[in-house]
Amino acid sequence: MFSSVQMGWDYMKHRPLQRARRSRVGHDEEDIGGKIAIVTGSNSGLGKQAALELCKRGAVVVMACRDVRKAEEARDEILKEVSSAHLDPVQLDLGDLESVRKFVSVIKERYPRVDILINNAGISEPKIKKTKHGFESNMGVNHLGPFLLTLLLIDHLEKAEHGRVVCVSSSMLYLAKLDSENILPENQSRGFLGYEPYANSKLANALFVKELAKVLMKTNITCYALCPGLVATNVFRVVQQ
């Protein structure tokens, strides 16, 4: 049976052990008042914490979430900590490319630019499922949706003084087996795929950011991919069930 324990064991087999080092968490206290930030999946976990920290520094935060009701609940919780926070919940389903286009239209009508885009939202679905447009669900939600979202917002990011694109990837990318045969569900022979689709989507995130950074090298936009480490979030809720 696939489990998060098995996933962790497989990861350790593929990566050398490193000496643990005690470190301090750094905090960037820069005032970013007035900057406009979009954080996908900001109703819980890392996205919610990112939204909170951005609000503490004065940013306007667009909470791009599939479930607007949950986004509004998260907004209310953040407002209890930062009463001056400017939070704007907007519906976005990354598994539906039409929803992505609609979201971008709303943003461009509502805001003059985008300073920060954090592609944080993600899923981990061990079984074969399709997005609305027929893509494997992990690849569709974790990569193809954010891919389209980012490209459609490039012109708005260029209007910022210093645009930033951040994609939350994962060290699970080292376990990826990415090829053209395993992107579409009809090309997959097993009904239970385990962690491979998730790992593939995280590798796609990193490769996308690497190439995007090259393309945008001479612009005002910089691109980053990161691994947050092992964090207790809802991304593996399906696996845990």
Catalytic residues: 198
Distance CA 174, CA 197 (A): 12
Strand residues in 3-121 grouped as ranges (E): 36-40, 60-65, 86-91, 116-119
Distance CA 75, CA 189 (A): 42
Element containing residue 76 per DSSP (H, E): helix 68-81
- Residue 80: how many CB atoms within 10 A of its CB? 8
The tokens 């790992």 sit on which residue?
A: 199
Distance CA 93, CA 30 (A): 31
Residues 154, 44, 139, 64: is their CA dihedral positive or negative?
negative
